[in-house]
Chains A and B, each alone.
Chain A
Amino acid sequence: MTDSAPLERRYRRMLACYPKAFRRESEEEVLAVLLATAHEGQRRVGLTEAADLIRGALRMHFCTSRAPRPVRNAVRLMCLGALLNLAVMVTILVTLGGVRSAVIGAAVQWHTVLLTQVVPVLASAPIGAGVWLWLAWANGRGHNWARFAFMALFGLLTLGLLTGLAEGDGTHALPYTRADLIATTVLWLAGLVAMLLTFSQAASRYYQQEPARQ
């Protein structure tokens, strides 16, 4: 028993990623299976095993294992949306040097552009990612309000995209704004499909049930 103690501690740390309700009911049971399937003398959690546990935890948090296929796909798209929000932020950070040169070349005050355009986009990206993730989680759990909240978010996104397209007359031809516009278009498409999926017939039945217990 003493030999398996460090491994058990590590497994418990991994199982802490699972929803509380699941842990309360099944942690000891899963732990027993993990220890029973561990190799002789194993002291660390293997990479594949860790990935499997994390994937399982994510599925349980987002309840995608219980939701019907359209909701599962919508949740996946919302998670993708969260990643895209972060991708926009990373793109801007990586290309910041080029943007700066372009701005200075165009005889525009760099700090003005930085404060009015770059910083707001950089600051809103993690918030946007958080909102997409939150709505993915709520939709996965079958909260009916969540699909209407996502519809509102999609409305805002559409408004942002239309504004971006209206301004795309060449006067805002900074490299990051172009990348931002492409990313926003992809985000908009992902949002459109996700929204349509949450209002499909199979999804509607799921939303009309009680939210999942986790």
Chain B
Amino acid sequence: MTERAMREATFLILTALADGSQHGHGIIAEVQEISGGRVRLRAGTLYTALDRLRADGLIEVDREEIVEGRLRRYYRLTPQGTRRLAAEAARLQASADAALTPLKPLGVTT
């Protein structure tokens, strides 16, 4: 059975964790950067997604720190999360290639 396409926010959160663990605020900043400022996650959306991703076994808590008296929890991808992200990235790339290939002869470049 093929897996369902991932929501953009979920994909971006997993992507933000691809090159190492991140805390909540770091994920928000990273997602904003990856999306070129288009997606600005809010705390409610972020923590609902993190809760679901943890329940699905795609991410896990890496470590906790106290910074300026505030709790900072770092999250990282699990091996399952890494595989899922890779599969989704490949799927998106295949879709993008399918769209761009017929556009090339028309001189359309990205």
Contact surface of A with B, Cβ cutoff 8 Å? 22, 26, 28-37, 48-49, 52-57, 59-60, 65-66, 69, 212
Which residues from B are CB-within-8-Å of A22?
47, 51
Which residues from B are CB-within-8-Å of A60?
48, 51
In the bound complex, do residue A52 and residue B45 qualify as a contact, i.e. CB atoms below 8 Å apart? yes
CA distance A56 to B50 in the complex (A): 11
In the bound complex, do residue B49 and residue A65 qualify as a contact, i.e. CB atoms below 8 Å apart? yes
Which residues from B are CB-within-8-Å of A212?
55
In the bound complex, do residue B48 and residue A32 qualify as a contact, i.e. CB atoms below 8 Å apart? no
In the bound complex, do residue B70 and residue A32 qualify as a contact, i.e. CB atoms below 8 Å apart? yes
In the bound complex, do residue A57 and residue B71 qualify as a contact, i.e. CB atoms below 8 Å apart? no
In the bound complex, do residue B44 and residue A55 qualify as a contact, i.e. CB atoms below 8 Å apart? yes
Near A by CB (< 8 A), chain B positions 39-86 give 42-49, 51-52, 55-56, 67, 70-73
- Total inter-chain residue pairs, C-beta < 8 Å: 69
Which residues from A are CB-within-8-Å of B23?
33
In the bound complex, do residue B24 and residue A59 qualify as a contact, i.e. CB atoms below 8 Å apart? no
Which residues from A are CB-within-8-Å of B51?
22, 60, 65-66
Of B42, B48, B55, the residue contacting A49 (CB under 8 A) is: B42
In the bound complex, do residue B24 and residue A33 qualify as a contact, i.e. CB atoms below 8 Å apart? yes
Task: Kindly list the 6 A-B residue pairs having the minimum CB-CB distance in the complex, ordered from nearest.
Answer: A56-B44, A32-B70, A52-B44, A33-B24, A65-B52, A52-B42
Q: List 7 A-B contacts (CB under 8 A).
A: A26-B47, A26-B73, A29-B24, A33-B23, A33-B46, A52-B43, A52-B45
- Distance in Å from the Cβ of B80 to the closest Cβ of chain A? 16
Q: How large is the interface on B (under 10, 10 to 19, 20 to 34, 35 or more residues)?
A: 20 to 34
Besides A32-B67, A52-B44, A60-B51, 9 other A-B contacts (C-beta < 8 A)? A22-B51, A29-B71, A32-B24, A33-B24, A36-B25, A37-B43, A49-B44, A52-B43, A66-B55
Knowing A26-B47, A65-B48, A65-B51, the reply to whether A35 touches B70 (Cβ < 8 A) is yes
Knowing A37-B25, A37-B28, A66-B55, the reply to whether A30 touches B43 (Cβ < 8 A) is yes
CA distance A49 to B40 in the complex (A): 12
Residue of B nearest to A50 (CB): B44
Which residues from A are CB-within-8-Å of B52?
65-66
CA distance A33 to B55 in the complex (A): 21
Residue of A nearest to B4 (CB): A69
Residue of B nearest to A26 (CB): B47
CA distance A56 to B49 in the complex (A): 9
Residue of A nearest to B71 (CB): A28
In the bound complex, do residue A53 and residue B72 qualify as a contact, i.e. CB atoms below 8 Å apart? no
Which residues from B are CB-within-8-Å of A32?
24-25, 67, 70-72
User: Which of B45, B49, B71 has most A Cβ within 10 Å?
Assistant: B71
